[in-house]
Structure 1
Amino acid sequence: MSTNTSQSAWNRYRSIPIVYRIGAAFVLGSLVGLIVGEPATRLQPLGDLFIRLLSMIVIPIVVFTLIMGVRELAPSTLGKVGGQVVALYAITSIIAVSIGLAIANLIDPGAGLTLTEAEFDTAEAPNIVEVFLGIVPENPIGAMAAGEVLPTIFFALVFGLALTIIREESHDETVHNGIDSIFNIMEAGAEALFKIVWGVMEYGVIGVFALMASVFGQAGADALVPFALLIVALAIAVTIHIAVVYLGGIIMLLTHQSPIAFLAGSKEAMITALSIRSSSGTLPVTMSNADENLRINEGVYGFSLPLGATINMDGTAMYQGVAAIFAANLVGVSLSIGEQITVVAIAVLASIGSAGVPGTGLIMLTLVLTQLGLPLEVVGFVAGVDPILDRMRTMTNITGDLAVATVVGHWNGAVDFGAGVWNGTVGEAATSD
């Protein structure tokens, strides 16, 4: 009987989404730290184990997911429309992380809260030239062994693209089979790593509880303000990016259409993304909005939206910029221009292999912090408020997907601006060819 009761309790516990369990751990750990005080810092080793587990998966995640992700970027697959879509996704992601960095530099989230136990690599910050040269590894295996994220990303992308090009150009069946086998191995490896990530995040409930108890046990109630500023900084950055880049830049400037009409046509997808926190899970609603409301031809949105759910992570990229400044403030340092450019590069390049599922931003954040030598404890801290942050990130990603699909459809005569939300009617079958 006791075994059945324990199993039933475990199943009920597991039925609660992991992000909410981590959120509860964040709250409970904070309360324990505030109530118990200094003795709560003895829980720190349990939090340190969580950080070590995160460190363990950083480089394997980069290699497997990026090589797997570039399969969809073969030149023949992309074509004219695909090239425009990928270029816009890259440009908007660069702008997004830049906005995130700018807002974070102004608001300074994390200032006033110091991680006295955290270690920071105090090596002299690289200049801009060194940042760009440092992208290319002299020894890829050595870069992986040293945990150098940006060179590893570069090599994984180049190697993956080389495989896709050879697969298209070669007429040797043996070569084709070999490359397909490599991609299959990468896909299997990525799936295995996602399973490991699941296990790490399961333990993360304990790890986050311990980290928060230790932080609040040491800093007291003063630690609340930096977390509130982190949320405010991302909210402001998201608002600016949607209003200026998507509505002002893409919809008004490039398509000469009403941003109000665009929002009316995209609202179901935006609300769904805000609710379920998954670009991939929102995809059916996004495609329905593109077809019925925005009247984009299926030949455009059928390619750009699924691809966007995988590689267009404007909200996530923006979050990396905000979180990087937050992490730097926690250890009392300032990020140089070169280091902030590094954040931009990692956020944009790593988004290619990121899955459009809840919690992706936390995995990407480990890449940024590892490359900058900032403490990974930050991942545990922000995990508690990540359900709030992730909703904003996902809504931004989805809005960007639809904005890019609209302008690419406009450039290729594949959107009907005389129907749907553009002339005040929705819900009728799309008629554009």
Structure 2
Amino acid sequence: MPKQVEVRMHESQLEPVEARPQNKCAKICAALSKNLLLTLTVLGVVMGAVSGMLLRVASPIHPDIIMVIAFPGDILMRMLKMLILPLIISSLITGLAGLDAKSSGRLGSRAMVYYMSTTIIAAILGVILVIVIHPGDPKLKENLGEGIKNDDVSSLDAAFDLIRNLFPENLVQACFQQIQTVTTKVEVIVEEAVNATSVDGLVANITKEPQIIIKRALQYKSGMNVLGLIGFFIAFGICMGKMGERAKLMLEFFNILNEIVMKIVIMIMWYSPFGIACLICGKIISIDDLETVARQLGMYMVTVIIGLLIHGAIFLPGIYFAIVRKNPFTFFMGIFQAWITALGTASSAGTLPVTFRCLEENLGIDKRVTRFVLPVGATINMDGTALYEAVAAIFIAQMNGIYLDPGQIITVSLTATLASVGAASIPSAGLVTMLLILTAVGLPTQDISLLVAVDWLLDRFRTSVNVMGDSYGAAIVYHLSKAELDELDATTAKSDDIEMSKTQSSYYDDIKNHQENNSNQ
């Protein structure tokens, strides 16, 4: 008997030793299978970049072949943008309908304070870095040449366009068009009473210079008016929440719509690694003179990327840790799928479905917070864009040998903050709003075209920072509002219990009355 015990003990000691490698392999396989989609997405980004670089070494590739390579990426962008409209509608309505007016107001105010604070910090950081590093050199202008002339855009017109788009006159039209002020220059010869019989009068009529008059007109341009849709459906969701039980059927409809959209998102996510790889590969192949551009604008790119890294890896996690008191890098791993998708697609609106999934499923953020904060943040919270625009404006001034006084630098910071709010959540939207900043401080707007060659890369970095800012903001707002949401849930549960008890008591009263009637009969 003792020998058997010894044998058993010996076998029990051997089993863990033999099983240890198997357990490790099982854990690794389980982790890979759990994070398989994330692993494939990262591999897609890496493979796309490596394939693009290798194909650039080959002889010039035919444009049709480049189009075929990039085509799956174009399909991915189309599928993601296809979901923006139903996702914004369903998320805003269901998120706000679950809140009372007081809670939604506090959520909105906290989100806006966070958005404006981080955007101002990003713009100031960009100004400081570009002044310290000083990437601009007048010799660059000789190498890059003159840019393409752009029409000047008035800051007042841009502000009014922002307000006009917030209140669309047609909701159906807002799904595919937004309004924009267009200026045209018209030459007008002013007639004056000049004595044409004299020689001086004839010379005056011949040499008279025409006056240039700027005429403004409102035109609709293609592109979803996300700001107007968000404004309407915020009001729709709040009003529906006030209706209570009468709007219950409508609320269930939008809840089911949101669940359907998220299931479609999961399906698209399994295609995204291949689409992102083709998107990046096609973009790298299609760029002309990549090495020359990198050599000429290298310091400008380094300045922007350093600023984005500091803001995304230090400032945003630091604000999150200071308020929430949790590990920000653990949180970042929860949103890594959204971050890598933003890096591949360069569209914060296109990444919105993935951001919803990461915050709600991976990190457990309340859906009422994410469905309200994320759509608004994807539209107006553009930290990376504000930093990029501040750097680009002062870089253009340095490249032209123009000295900006402290007042003009402050103007650049404030205008970059406000212009980033109006920037659409689509690829390369920052180049459009750059016109406002350059016009505000009197810099040549045609030099924007010189930065287009490297914007495809910087756009990906700043979009990923924009998505990080939205995600950290949702977590901070949820932390600050958690007590109110719990109290609201408790109040709702209590009222439901009272309503149920009333229903049950009335049910029992009906049974009692029915029994009494039967006994009397």
Aligned residues: 295
Match of 2:154 among 149, 156, 163: 149
Counterpart CA distance in 1 for 2:128 and 2:374 is 28
Counterpart CA distance in 1 for 2:69 and 2:417 is 32
2:296 equivalent to 1:270:
no
Counterpart CA distance in 2 for 1:232 and 1:362 is 18
Task: Name the residue aligned to 1:333.
Answer: 402
Displacement of 1:361? 1.4
Alignment of 1:197-346 (within 5 A): 225-249=295-319, 251-346=320-415
Relative contact order, CA 8 A, sep 6+: which one is greater? 1
2:383 equivalent to 1:383:
no
* Secondary structure class of the residue paired with 1:290: helix
* Secondary structure class of the residue paired with 1:413: helix
2:198 equivalent to 1:193:
no
8 Å CA contact 1:294–1:415 kept in 2: the answer is no
* Secondary structure class of the residue paired with 1:115: helix
Partner amino acid for 1:193? K
Partner amino acid for 2:119? S
Counterpart CA distance in 1 for 2:337 and 2:174 is 37
Partner amino acid for 1:270? W
Displacement of 1:377? 3.2
Counterpart CA distance in 2 for 1:16 and 1:113 is 37
Counterpart CA distance in 2 for 1:415 and 1:291 is 19
Task: Name the residue aligned to 1:52.
Answer: none
Q: What per-residue deviation string (whole Å, max 9, x for no partner) do you get for residues 119-163 of structure 1?
A: 9xxxxxxxxxxxxxxxxxxxxxxxxxx9463333444456677x6
Partner amino acid for 1:83? S
Counterpart CA distance in 2 for 1:378 and 1:356 is 23
Alignment of 1:158-169 (within 5 A): none
Query: Aligned pair in 2 of structure 1 residues 405, 368: CA closer, same or farther (>3 Å)?
Result: same
Counterpart CA distance in 2 for 1:381 and 1:194 is 25
* Secondary structure class of the residue paired with 1:109: coil
8 Å CA contact 1:365–1:379 kept in 2: the answer is yes
Partner amino acid for 2:368? G
Partner amino acid for 2:421? I
Task: Name the residue aligned to 2:463.
Answer: 394
Displacement of 1:308? 1.2
Alignment of 1:361-376 (within 5 A): 361-376=430-445
Displacement of 1:360? 0.8
Query: Aligned pair in 2 of structure 1 residues 275, 181: CA closer, same or farther (>3 Å)?
Result: closer
Partner amino acid for 1:180? E
Q: What per-residue deviation string (whole Å, max 9, x for no partner) do you get for residues 367-400 of structure 1?
A: 2223322223332221111111011100100000
Displacement of 1:100? 0.8
Counterpart CA distance in 1 for 2:484 and 2:127 is 34
Alignment of 1:40-59 (within 5 A): none
Task: Name the residue aligned to 1:358.
Answer: 427
Counterpart CA distance in 2 for 1:300 and 1:336 is 42
8 Å CA contact 1:270–1:395 kept in 2: the answer is yes
Task: Name the residue aligned to 2:52.
Answer: none
* Secondary structure class of the residue paired with 1:89: helix
Computed over aligned residues only, the root mean square deviation of the Cα atoms, in angstroms, reads 3.9
8 Å CA contact 1:317–1:347 kept in 2: the answer is yes
Name stretches of at least 5 consecutive residues in structure 2 with no aligned partner. Answer: 1-61, 74-91, 93-100, 181-219, 224-286, 486-521
* Secondary structure class of the residue paired with 1:113: helix
Counterpart CA distance in 2 for 1:187 and 1:82 is 26
* Secondary structure class of the residue paired with 1:233: helix
Normalised by the length of structure 1, the TM-score is 0.59
Identity over the aligned pairs, expressed in percent? Answer: 34
Task: Name the residue aligned to 2:108.
Answer: 82
Q: What per-residue deviation string (whole Å, max 9, x for no partner) do you get for residues 52-88 of structure 1?
A: xxxxxxxxxxxxxxxxxxxx9xxx7962101211221
Displacement of 1:406? 0.3
Instruction: Name the structure where strand makes up a greater proportion of residues.
Output: 2
- Greater Cα radius of gyration, structure 1 or 2: 2
Counterpart CA distance in 1 for 2:356 and 2:105 is 21
Query: Aligned pair in 2 of structure 1 residues 15, 94: CA closer, same or farther (>3 Å)?
Result: farther
Query: Aligned pair in 2 of structure 1 residues 273, 185: CA closer, same or farther (>3 Å)?
Result: closer
Task: Name the residue aligned to 2:123.
Answer: 97
Query: Aligned pair in 2 of structure 1 residues 188, 259: CA closer, same or farther (>3 Å)?
Result: closer
Partner amino acid for 2:410? I
Counterpart CA distance in 2 for 1:186 and 1:373 is 35
Query: Aligned pair in 2 of structure 1 residues 255, 89: CA closer, same or farther (>3 Å)?
Result: same
Query: Aligned pair in 2 of structure 1 residues 237, 363: CA closer, same or farther (>3 Å)?
Result: same
Partner amino acid for 2:471? L
